[in-house]
Structure 1
Amino acid sequence: MEKYQKKSIIAVLTGVLVFITGCLILLYFAAQELITQINADTKHILKHVDSAVLERRSVLTPLNKFGFKQCNETTLLEMRRALFDSQYVIDIGFFIGNQLMCTTGAGLLSSGINDLEPDYIRKDEDVRVRFEPQLYLLLFTGRPMEVVIVRQGNFNLIMESKAFNSASIGSKNWEVVYRDSEELHHLAGTKGTYSKISGDSYLPYETGVACSTENENYCAAVHLPWSQFFSNNHFLLIISLILTCLAGVSSALMVNARIAARRSINQRIRKGLKKGSFYWTYQPIICLQSGKLIGCEVLARFEDKYGVLFPDEFIPVIRKNNLTWTFTEAMIATTIKELTSIEVLPEGFKVSLNIFPCDVELGNVLLLPQITELTNSRFIICLEITEDEYLDTSIAHAHFRTLVESGFNLSLDDFGTGYSNLRNLQNLSFHQLKIDRTFVQDIATEGLKASMIPNIMELVHKFNYTCVAEGIETTEQEAILKTAGVHYGQGWKYGKPMTASKFKNYITSQHF
């Protein structure tokens, strides 16, 4: 139970890791979007600043060039013409000395109004600027306005900061300032935002400051809190979080399913060895020269109530869980009994059994001579062993000699695909080589492996072995192998692996 709990914890941790990774990715893209929004707002505000400065120049410079000395109808007409095409200017005033004499909205005043001191003066253009949070225009005395008053020469402009408050600005906290050498001067937006951004600590990515490249000293500061950003994009955030959660849960389920599947295979194989879920099939081995049946190879299959497992699924598990000898004992006990019951099989019929190389190294194969079903059998028992580094030891050599002395034949299986060591052919007591099916399949395409078959046959003749070719499917393959001197053949051309009952019917129908 503790083992399964650990595996479940792995699945949960995987899901949590995927969820956290997804959240980090989501946070990264949110940060990029936040930066994009702040940059867009800053750019938008500075664009308005540059446009307002350009409009101020296009209005005040021409008016001052007229050189009006008093306010009359001509003066008011030019002032109103200038106001007509303006985007930011809501009123224009005319001064004589330091007194306001008339405006486009109120016309000629009954008495002059003294001008107030500016917040700052742009000395390069002799422009006086003053911010008024609540100004009552003479024409609209009941409605206060937040404005910037700009005076140059005999004229001033009243520019409403409301023009900056476009719906395209996503940030609620922003400010436009004019920086001179001594201090900051507020022009529009939320007063103090620039100073707070410069001095206070904010979360990463939620502030931005930029200055105009066209009008020096005009700067914009924007603060868009994460909370506001998520509030503005809450629907998208919810969808993203749901998808991230689903990714985490899906990952946990997949890992858990994978672990459960692997655990299930282990359990199924262990139980299968005890309850008989393994069954054995027999594939004919034919003499290529005479066409007669001379033996068969025993091949394992598995099926239980959960379905079929293929050899490439259960063989690695058997090796990993050290069940190789248990598996071999089960194979021998069943196959010898089934084949013995087939009366038509002659004396000297060769039965090829696959043996795990690790059982050679561990000495388990020395138990084979003690199995009476084998030693008393009317068959020739051929032990097929795949090339492996386990074979290249003095212990393995001694065990092979013992098996040969006990009457077993030895076959080197899948020659050329495993731990190929030609020295083994001379040192080990083998009787037979088995050419792997990949060499045979290469014959039709005249591939590199097919060209090696004559070389393999030279070794076979040199060491006085017999040779079996696996995977023969066509008459063309059979003819080429027969010409090359291969003794025996095995493959679908002669018969697929079949159960004992079907193998008996096969022998009867083929009249061997």
Structure 2
Amino acid sequence: MSFKHKLVSFIVSLSLGTLFFLFLFLWIEKQIVVEQEQAATTHLALMSTISKDIQHTLERLDRLDDPVCSSEMLLHMRRENFLSIFIKDIGYSDENGKLLCTAGLGIIVTKSMESEPDYINNYGAKVWVNKALELFDRLHTAVVIKHNAFNVVIEPAEINKFSSMGFDWEIVFNRANHYKHVSGSNNLYVKGIVGRVNLTHAYQFQQCDPESSYCVALSLSAGEFYEKNRLLIAIIIASSFFLTLFLYYFISFKINGFMSISARVKRGVKSNKFFPLFQPIVNIQTGKIVGCEVLARFEDNEGKIFPDEFIPKVRELGLSWEFTEQLVEKSLLRLSESGIDLKGFKVNINIFPSDVSSGKVLKIIDLPYVNDHPIKIVLEIVEDEQLTGKEFANHLEILVQHGFLIAIDDFGTGYSNLNQVSKLSCHILKIDRSFINAMEGGSIRSSLIPYIVQMANELHIDVVAEGVENIMQHQALKNLGILNGQGWLYGKPMSADDLCPIIKHFKI
């Protein structure tokens, strides 16, 4: 796998692993908010319950018509005190604010005057958040709420019942945007915000109750958050790391599969990406171009794949006929668009022996441009499989009857021999380039060429010499009477646009 693909695998896997970590981390944060929402609801519900209980108690006391601090009044005060869940004591003050009696102490003598309340609640009662109590010689403080002449004492512990829920918290009273601390950590509440508060150092949530005008803030510092969730965060980090590692190898495996030659070839055939180049075939005796061989080429975004790599893959994938059909149509279309008179011009197209055996090759008879084209199509059979079998020969005969010429490609390197070829409907033998390359060294292999030519002539089969690279080979082949040649001496594989202009003017 290339560095580019490794980098892509790394970036994608790291990104997905990071997203996984962030998702789970945000989930943990969300759970904190959910817990804070639940705690806030609980706090405000408690404050609402306390407020209603006190309000109803004070309203009943206000309706009493007993003499001031009489035994009857004290009895009613003690009954209300007993029936209330939250009230610890009830007192009665005169019009000047002096406390005259309480449910707990009875009639008392005090010179203390009533101080200014911390705030006035929604139903007009005065509230002191931290008032010194006469019952404890002013050594103990509590919440005192007074309406008209009666007041009630609330133990702070009643309000602080839920202080152990794992958060720092504060309860405030809000009236017309004037906030007064009631209980909890002072100055924790951020004024004017409902919901989550964006703080860099803490997770904080705030909620208000419009009916009672009480608000609550719950906060968890970043340090406490990590301490509380350190095991879970460690698990998430480890899981994210192993997920990233797994994704890297998984993506790399998929990319390797996607970028393999087999996959690229398969996509190339399915998307019709193979294209033809044309290599001239020259009459060695006259020096004129008489035909060409169609050579398949392939290139995608990842680069080129050479024929010796993609041809075996086409066969393995069972796409040989789809591949051949696309190449035939593209080749004939491009040659026909050239505008040059190609009557009698031979175009050699390679076909797979397996397609001949199966009969798929017969589909070429009905392909577009084949019947209406003036060129002569030569079907080259790659000599890498045994050219035997009754069906094989019958299919070749049908092709010949429809005007196709048959050539054996790379003769001398595979399974076929002249005796076998004589039993087939064969018109052309293409001598493999290895014989031509051996001519200059005078090897035994090159000495076989005259015998091949002689036997081919006796069978009335034309001979084409492949791989002609220099004028010395050309002249030797000419002297042997070989009719046609193909190789870099006459031209490298080229496009139809490059081939057509030189057909009439080529000389060797």
Structure 2 gap ranges (5+): 266-297, 380-397, 406-508
Determine the structure 2 residue equivalent to 1:65.
Answer: 63
Q: Which amino acid aligns with 1:387?
A: Q
Determine the structure 2 residue equivalent to 1:403.
Answer: 348
Task: Provide the alpha-carbon RMSD of the alignment.
Answer: 5.0
Residues 246 and 113 of structure 1, relative CA distance in 2, 3 Å threshold: same
**Matches of residues 279-318 of structure 1 in structure 2 within 5 Å?**
none
Q: TM-score, normalised by structure 1?
A: 0.52
Q: Secondary structure at the match of 1:46?
A: helix
Residues 111 and 316 of structure 1, relative CA distance in 2, 3 Å threshold: same
Deviation at 1:140, TM superposition (A): 8.7
Determine the structure 2 residue equivalent to 1:194.
Answer: 189
Distance 1:417 1:43 in 2: 79
Return the match for 1:324 from 299, 304, 307. 307
Q: Deviations for 1:163-189, whole angstroms, at most 9, x for unmatched residues?
A: 233448746333222233473222222
**Matches of residues 245-256 of structure 1 in structure 2 within 5 Å?**
245-256=241-252
Determine the structure 1 residue equivalent to 2:98.
Answer: 99
Determine the structure 2 residue equivalent to 1:364.
Answer: none
Structure possessing the higher radius of gyration over alpha carbons: 2
**Matches of residues 140-151 of structure 1 in structure 2 within 5 Å?**
144-145=140-141, 147-151=142-146
Residues 326 and 192 of structure 1, relative CA distance in 2, 3 Å threshold: closer
Distance 2:235 2:228 in 1: 14
Distance 1:18 1:423 in 2: 52
Q: Secondary structure at the match of 1:92?
A: strand
Q: Secondary structure at the match of 2:186?
A: coil
Q: Secondary structure at the match of 1:51?
A: helix
Q: Deviations for 1:122-174, whole angstroms, at most 9, x for unmatched residues?
A: 4x744111110x745625976x45x3210012211112333233448746333
Determine the structure 2 residue equivalent to 1:218.
Answer: 214
On the 8 A contact 1:46/1:220 being kept in 2, the answer is: yes
Distance 1:330 1:64 in 2: 100
Distance 1:68 1:253 in 2: 88
Distance 2:78 2:206 in 1: 37
Deviation at 1:93, TM superposition (A): 1.6
Distance 1:116 1:431 in 2: 117
Q: TM-score, normalised by structure 2?
A: 0.53
Determine the structure 2 residue equivalent to 1:208.
Answer: 205
On the 8 A contact 1:38/1:206 being kept in 2, the answer is: no
Residues 16 and 403 of structure 1, relative CA distance in 2, 3 Å threshold: closer
Residues 93 and 392 of structure 1, relative CA distance in 2, 3 Å threshold: farther
Distance 1:117 1:417 in 2: 106
On the 8 A contact 1:178/1:184 being kept in 2, the answer is: yes
Distance 1:205 1:91 in 2: 39
Deviation at 1:224, TM superposition (A): 3.7
Q: Secondary structure at the match of 1:403?
A: strand
Determine the structure 1 residue equivalent to 2:42.
Answer: 44
Residues 328 and 47 of structure 1, relative CA distance in 2, 3 Å threshold: closer
On the 8 A contact 1:42/1:222 being kept in 2, the answer is: yes
Residues 184 and 325 of structure 1, relative CA distance in 2, 3 Å threshold: closer
Deviation at 1:251, TM superposition (A): 0.7
Determine the structure 2 residue equivalent to 1:79.
Answer: 77
Deviation at 1:30, TM superposition (A): 3.4
Residues 414 and 209 of structure 1, relative CA distance in 2, 3 Å threshold: farther
Q: Which amino acid aligns with 2:199?
A: Y
Q: Secondary structure at the match of 2:346?
A: helix
Distance 1:73 1:194 in 2: 45
Deviation at 1:62, TM superposition (A): 0.7
Determine the structure 2 residue equivalent to 1:17.
Answer: 15
Deviation at 1:230, TM superposition (A): 4.1
**Matches of residues 405-424 of structure 1 in structure 2 within 5 Å?**
422-424=368-370
On the 8 A contact 2:13/2:245 being kept in 1, the answer is: yes
More helix by share: 1
Q: Secondary structure at the match of 2:68?
A: coil
Q: Which amino acid aligns with 1:245?
A: F
Q: Which amino acid aligns with 2:230?
A: H
Residues 256 and 154 of structure 1, relative CA distance in 2, 3 Å threshold: same
Residue 181 of structure 2 corresponds to residue 242 of structure 1: no
Aligned residue pair count: 335
